Amino acid sequence: MSNKSFYITTPIYYPSAKLHIGHAYCTTIADSVARYHRLAGDDVFFLTGSDEHGQKIQEKAEAQGIKPIEYVDGIVAEFQKLWKMLNISNDDFLRTSQKRHERVVQEIFRRVYDKGDIYKGAYKGLYCTPCESFWTELQLDENGCCPDCGRPVKEVAEEAYFFKMSRYADRILKHIEDNPDFIQPVSRRNEMINFIKQGLDDLCISRTSFDWGIPVPIDEKHVIYVWFDALTNYLTPIGFLDDEEKFKKFWPADVHLVGKEIVRFHSIIWPCILMALDLPLPKQIYGHGWLVVDGSKMSKSLGNVVDPVELINKYGADAIRYFLLREINLGQDGNFSELALVQRINADLANDLGNLLHRTLNMVKKFQQGEVLAAQGRSEIDENLIADAMAAVKTFDEGMGDMKISSAIKGVWAFISRANKYIDETAPWALAKDPAKQQELANVMYNLVESLRIISVMIEPFMPTTAEKIWQQLNMPKAFADVRLDDIKAWGGTTAGMHIGEAQQLFPRIELEKDEAPDKKAGEKVKTGKQAKGEPGNIDSDEITIEDFARVKLQVVEILAAEPVPKADKLLKLKVNTGAEEREIVSGIAKHYECSELIGKRVILVMNLKPARIRGVVSHGMILAASKGDALEVVSVDMPVGSVVR
Ligand code: MSP
């Protein structure tokens, strides 16, 4: 039987500086998806690499008095070390300076040139060296600077080769419109459609002002401009020129995972190049959001650039991976804070997961001398647990298959809590004391070991080392590397009669410094003696920390539709666009607004409020409003949908 193939890529990173936690975020997402597909039995090819050419790198090397290749060799070795530390399971690492890539880029240039889609012209334009991007006057920001990084652009004029991208504008627009999944999330898709509708210029694809690049095969004075060289990286390692069978198997790619600011290059320029080559287009471009640190964009000047190597050394790779995958909804921007990381480690890893494993292993050891006895018969509580386990596997499978990583991970943790609750519900320590209840005890122990077996497989894409540690502590007979998703799709894979292994702590609790420790749980209200419902509280006792506040995710959304909720004269049902999706919200503002007044308003939504059913409608968030006495006004702003409020 031939397995389904799955090809996923990350962007290739610029070796202009060390990688930071934002880069680690992108690669970790891709790794978890690749690992999930391997678990599902797919034949996976996972590619990452480095984008080494261009003027900026040449200038950096010159500043250090070394050759560009010496400069990139050093820094790319650091990239590879980081990916190893983070347990990234890439199948290949492409460096654009490699000979195998030069061959591919030059061959592609030749093919497109022979087709008549490349011509020589004169380039006059505004160039941003750090971003390696050309801009037109109209595209610059309000300060006349690069719209991506805000730095000054410089005017350049030189002979250059151009790719006739304009020829493919209609075809790419049609492709995007006909294939709703081609660009995800949908907000990015809309941006791209608008961008193309403004007209596509031909693309400058060569430069003569520096020489650190792949020479144009028909004109050695020129080097190929970095984006043409970079995008084609996705073809090199899968046998484009040298292994037809491999190429057929993996091309077109299933997902190019990229940051939101380079979706344009991947969903417009890259497909146009592929069309010129008569190659099929990738199935999906997924634009993830950006990671900010304690609410601010990372920058050297702010001194808030987070080094993933330091974090891994301090907390371990799995904890970092877990935090990145769990905290941030793919497609949206997310916040990194070390305190929030520590709180997740303590609550979710040390407490929920660690305790479940520890309690289970200890009880099997204490009550059954380490042996997992056969289960016979099921109580209603057992049936519930088993149904929840199977539902968790389904949620995990569907979520990961659909790139909904944080919802998949949340589903797994909901089941971990469920299994902890099962211990409290069944109270095995009481069963152990009653000779008549030994079979019941055996059943509970079996069900807990089986739950942990299932959990360990589901967490493998997120925390590969921890997953294997759990498997080994359970002492499951099958080699962990051979385990597949099919092994957990049915209940009962644990073999009765097996002996569990030694219990070892997975995640030690991290003690917070006194002034860091939140003295109450976020959201927990402190009541003062005098305080009554609705009364403004004592300011001191109601103080929250910045981290408490950061847990509330506020974002600008647009109201698309509004209608009354039947038989509820205060409520309106709103449909809003969050930029990543459409949601339904129930809001108690019916007495203050006509439905039509609300359409098009951009309001602030509490994004991460637990969904609640209100009069039969599931409300997914809450919009903010100011009120005093009988007056009420929703808080509306004139900022783009998706803007974060903090
Ligand atoms: N070399 C190009 C990509 C070429 S792909 C054919 C490039 N390199 S980069 O090093 O500047 O960025 C690589 C990726 O890192 C981008 O997808 C970018 O969005 C991502 N990130 C950079 N900073 C980030 C955060 N703060 N958060 C999340 N991702 C971030 O662009």
Which tens digit of pLDDT belongs to each residue from 239-267?
999 999 999 999 999 999 999 999 999 99
CA distance 459 to 609: 25
Residue 474 lies in a domain: yes
Task: Tell which residue, 374, 378, 376, has the closest CA to residue 386.
Answer: 378
Question: Is the four-CA dihedral 258, 7, 99, 268 of positive or negative sign?
Answer: negative
Q: Which of 14, 18, 23 to mutate to test the pocket of ligand 1 (most atoms within 8 A of CB)?
A: 23
- Kindly give the distance from the C-alpha atom of residue 592 to the centroid of ligand 1, in angstroms, as a whole number: 45
Would you state the pLDDT for residue 179? Answer: 97
Q: Specify whether 443 is located in the same domain as 373.
A: yes
User: Residue 7: enclosing H or E segment and its boundaries?
Assistant: strand 5-13
Out of 167-181, 341-355, 579-593, least confident range? 579-593
The protein residue with its alpha carbon nearest to ligand 1, atom 12, reads 13
CA of 23 to the centre of ligand 1 (A): 6
Q: Which atom of ligand 1 is nearest to the CA of 233?
A: 6
Residues 470 and 364 in one domain: yes
Q: Does a structural domain hold residue 475? A: yes
Rounded to the nearest integer, the mean pLDDT of the chain is 91
Look at residue 168 and tell me if it is in a domain.
Answer: no
User: Can you give the CATH number for the domain in which 420 is found?
Assistant: 1.10.730.10
Closest atom, ligand 1, to C-alpha of 230 = 6
Query: What is the model's pLDDT at position 532?
Result: 28
Give per-residue pLDDT as tens, 182-224.
999 999 999 999 999 999 999 999 999 899 999 999 999 999 9
Domain boundary among 445, 468, 488: 488
444 and 366 in a common domain: yes
Q: What secondary structure letter does DSSP report for 588?
A: S
Q: Which pLDDT score is estimated for 513?
A: 64
CA of 522 to the centre of ligand 1 (A): 33
Rounded to the nearest angstrom, the distance between the alpha carbon of 606 and the centre of ligand 1 is 28
pLDDT by residue (tens digit) across 468-493?
999 999 999 999 999 999 999 999 99
Displacement of CA 369 from its chain's centroid (Å): 43
What pLDDT, in 10s, does the model give residues 277-320? 999 999 999 999 999 998 889 988 888 999 999 999 999 999 99
Out of 72, 228, 290, 335, give the residue to mutate to test ligand 1, the one with the largest number of ligand atoms within 8 Å of its CB.
290
Residue 618's H or E segment, with its range, is: strand 617-619
User: Does any domain span residue 211?
Assistant: no
Say if residue 354 is in the same domain as residue 315.
Answer: no
- % of the chain exceeding 70 in pLDDT: 94
Angle between helical axes of 380-401 and 438-458 (0-180°, round to 10) = 10
CA of 381 to the centre of ligand 1 (A): 48
Ligand 1 pocket test: pick from 47, 51, 131 the residue with the most ligand atoms within 8 Å of its Cβ: 51
Q: Whose alpha carbon is nearest atom 17 of ligand 1?
A: 259
Question: Cα(63) to centroid of ligand 1, in Å?
Answer: 24
- Out of 303, 335, 367, a domain closes at 335
Tell the residue nearest (CA) to atom 10 of ligand 1. Answer: 13
The helix or strand, by DSSP H or E, that contains position 184, with its residue range, turns out to be: strand 183-184
- Residue 315 sits in a domain whose CATH number is 3.40.50.620
pLDDT value of residue 533: 31
Ligand 1: distance of its center to the CA of 290 in Å? 9
Residue of 381, 457, 364, 363 lying closest to 419 (CA atoms)? 381
Looking at the structure, do residues 322 and 341 belong to the same domain, yes or no? no
- Residue 572 and residue 590: Cα distance in Å, rounded? 5
Torsion of CA 22, 24, 29, 31, to 10 degrees: 160
Quick check: is 447 in a domain? yes
Does residue 252 have a cis peptide bond before it, meaning omega lies within 30 degrees of 0? yes
Domain CATH code at residue 612: 2.40.50.140
Which token pair is 631? 């007056």
The predicted-structure confidence for 382-433, as pLDDT tens digits, reads as follows 999 999 999 999 999 999 999 999 999 999 999 999 999 999 999 999 999 9
Would the pLDDT of 550 be above 80? no
Q: Are both 298 and 438 inside the same structural domain?
A: no
Residue 635 carries which side chain, given as an amino acid letter?
Answer: V
Residue 152 falls inside a structural domain = no
Q: Which stretches of 193-294 are assigned E, i.e. beta strand?
A: 203-204, 206-207, 215-216, 219-224, 255-259, 285-288, 291-293
- Whether residues 351 and 418 share a domain: the answer is yes
CA distance linking residue 592 with residue 625, whole number of Å: 11
Q: How far does CA 253 lie from the centroid of its chain?
A: 18
pLDDT reading at 519 higher than 70: no
Please indicate, yes or no, if residue 139 is contained in any of the structural domains: no
Same domain, 448 and 567: no
Domain count, the chain: 3
Mean pLDDT of 143-172: 92
Q: Are 38 and 44 within 8 A, CB to CB?
A: yes
The Cα–Cα gap between 329 and 157 comes to: 43
pLDDT tier at 111, thresholds 50, 70, 90? very high
DSSP character at residue 495: P
pLDDT of residue 538 exceeding 80: no
* 574 and 465 within one domain: no
What's the domain range around 21? Answer: 1-93+289-335
Cα(160) to centroid(ligand 1), Å = 26
Provide the pLDDT for residue 545.
Answer: 62
Are 299 and 389 in a shared domain?
no
* Domain-embedded: residue 121: no
Atom of ligand 1 lying closest to residue 19 CA: 10
Helix and strand totals (H; E) in the chain: 21, 25
Residue ID of nearest Cα to ligand 1 atom 24: 22
Question: What is the C-alpha separation between 518 and 260, in angstroms, rounded?
Answer: 34
Question: Does 369 score more than 90 pLDDT?
Answer: yes
364 and 469 in a single domain? The answer is yes
Q: State residue 619's pLDDT score.
A: 83
Tell me which of 13 and 608 has the higher pLDDT. Answer: 13
Q: Using one digit for the tens of pLDDT, what is the confidence trace for 423-441?
A: 999 999 999 999 999 999 9
For residue 542, the model assigns a pLDDT of 53
Same domain, 572 and 616: yes
What pLDDT is recorded for position 358?
A: 96
**Residue nearest ligand 1's atom 30 by CA:** 22
| Domain end among 488, 508, 535 | 488
Least confident of 130-139, 511-520, 546-555: 511-520
Ligand 1 site, CB within 6 A: 11-14, 22-23, 25-26, 51, 230-231, 233, 258-259, 261-262, 290-291, 298
- For 75-89, 169-183, 184-198, 569-583, which range has the lowest pLDDT when averaged over its residues? 569-583
pLDDT at 2: 61
- The span from the CA of 161 to the CA of 122, in Å, is 8
- The tokens describing 93, both together, are 């690492």
Confidence of residue 354 (pLDDT cuts 50, 70, 90): very high
